[in-house]
Amino acid sequence: MQLDLSLKKELPHFRLSAELSYKGRNLGLFGPSGSGKSTLVSLLAGLDTPGDKGHLRLDEQVLFDRNQGINLPPEQRRIALVFQQSALFPHLSVRGNLLYGFKRRPVRDNNIDFDAVIAALGLEALLERGVNNLSGGERQRVAIGRAILSNPRLLLLDEPLSALDDDSKFQIISYLKATCARFNIPYIFISHSLVEMRMMTDSAAVIDNGSITDICSTETLARKLMGRSPVGYINILGLGGMTKRDGLCVYNWNGNELLLSLGNQDTRSGLFELSSKDIILFKKHPEAISARNLLECNVTSCFESGTKLGVELECGNGKLISEIVPDAARELEITAGSVVYAAIKASAFRRLAAAETT
């Protein structure tokens, strides 16, 4: 996707003035609610008309240009949307919903196979059902299938995970990534959740108060925001091979052993989050501590974020980000190359999604 836009829109209590030039596979659009994400989505899809001046180009095709008097209607832009609330047609069956865009796709680009999309999203069993009694996760899968079957040039995912519980959320993330990659459809993922954003895209544009203020990798963004985020930097860990020992769950993480509280005993493997705030660093091996995990790590780099200092740790094959105040860094003499001990409480991990249950 190559996106080039300069769009303005005046609303009664809000002014959008966004400029962006981006070339890449996928893009995140990150910003708090009320920052203008949804307005921008409407303008991209052609559901709303931008104000004076401005242009919008996608892959060299002009979708909107005030000067040239071009403003393609939504049905000619071929930018499909997946909304937070699914927006499935209540008068149609699952099959009817899926076929809606499929029947209307342009004949010349006919490379989407109905059965392949249904199989990729695991929708075979739902086809003849109505859409009113589906679960949240099922609804979003149908919505994604419906959008992909219209064979769009670009998929706009407008907070598609916000209405879902954690387990469905991560299930949908894997469906989304796999299906879009399989059918070669670029997407813009819109969200106010940094964790979701990092799992969906490598780069993100930051929108704040109606304008795009930054564009960088999602990892860089997470590190930049660590200093002022109340939850710090969220480490996302894939843990597996759970066994029980002494009233704790023991997981394997990239060759390390991590001990988690017994509340996780029904998860054999899955994704867990760990805040940078919950990792305490020691210069020397502490003899006895209450935290159940003590990892010997190499410091690979340090970065400033607000008033905090982020410390990138390498523990075996795993990477963690811990945060400390600059004062502590001086005292412990933490620099790239030094060796530290990271202590983590067994209760500091929070399960995001179970991949395999017991």
Partner 1 sequence: MWLSAPDIQAILLSTKVATVATLLSLPIGFMCAYILCFHDFRGKILLEGLINLPLTLPPVVIGYLLLLLLGANGALAPLLHMLGIRLIFTWKAAVIASAVVGFPLLVRSIRIGMESIDLHLIHASRTLGATWYDTLASVIAPLCLRGVMAGSSLMFARSLGEFGATIIVAGNIPGLTQTIPLAIYDYAASPQGGQAALLLCVISVIISLAILIFHDAVAGRLIRKD
Q: Which residues lie near partner 1 (CB under 8 A)? A: 42, 45-47, 73-75, 77-81, 83, 85, 87, 89-92, 100-101, 104-106, 129-130, 132-133, 146-147, 150, 152
Instruction: Name which of 92 and 332 has its Cβ closer to partner 1.
Output: 92
The two tokens of residue 74 are 């939504």
- Residue 125 exposed, middle or buried by CB count within 10 Å (0-12, 13-18, 19+): exposed
Specify whether the CB–CB gap between 279 and 291 falls below 8 A. Answer: no
Nearer to partner 1, 189 or 251 (CB): 189
The C-alpha atoms of residue 273 and residue 344 are separated, in whole angstroms, by: 12
Provide, rounded to whole angstroms, the least separation between the CB of residue 100 and partner 1. 6
What minimum distance in Å lies between the beta carbon of 45 and partner 1? 5
Least distance (Å) between residue 125 CB and partner 1? 14
Give the C-alpha separation, 350 to 340, whole Å.
Answer: 24
Q: How many Å apart are CA 302 and CA 237, to the nearest integer?
A: 20
- What is the nearest approach in angstroms of partner 1 to the Cβ of residue 103? 8
Look at residues 187, 108, 107 and name the one whose alpha carbon lies nearest to residue 144: 187
Q: What's the closest the beta carbon of residue 80 comes to partner 1, in angstroms?
A: 5
Amino acid at 58: L
Q: CB-wise, 80 or 340, nearer to partner 1?
A: 80
Cβ closest to partner 1, residue 51 vs residue 240: 51
Q: How far is the CB of 260 from partner 1 (least distance, A)?
A: 40
| Whole-angstrom distance, CA of residue 350 vs CA of residue 236 | 10
Q: Do 92 and 148 meet the contact criterion of CB atoms below 8 Å apart? A: no
Q: How far is the CB of 41 from partner 1 (least distance, A)?
A: 10
Q: Are 276 and 235 in contact (CB under 8 A)?
A: yes
Closer to partner 1 at the Cβ: 81 or 340? 81
Q: Among candidates 309, 336, 338, which has minimal Cα distance to 322? A: 309
Comparison of 130 and 227: residue with beta carbon closer to partner 1: 130
Contact 121, 82 (CB under 8 A): no
Q: How many residues does the chain have?
A: 358
Judge whether 299 and 340 are in contact, CB under 8 Å: yes
Classify residue 44 as left (phi > 0), alpha (psi -120 to 50) or beta.
alpha
Closest to partner 1 by CB, 146 vs 223, is: 146
Distance in Å, CB of 316 to partner 1, minimum? 47
Hunting for tokens 């994400």 — which residue is that? 37
Give CA torsion, residues 172, 177, 183, 188, to 10 deg.
Answer: 100
The first and second tokens of residue 292, run together, are 């159940």
Nearer Cβ to partner 1, position 97 or 322? Answer: 97
- Of the pair 93, 252, the CB lying nearest partner 1 is at 93
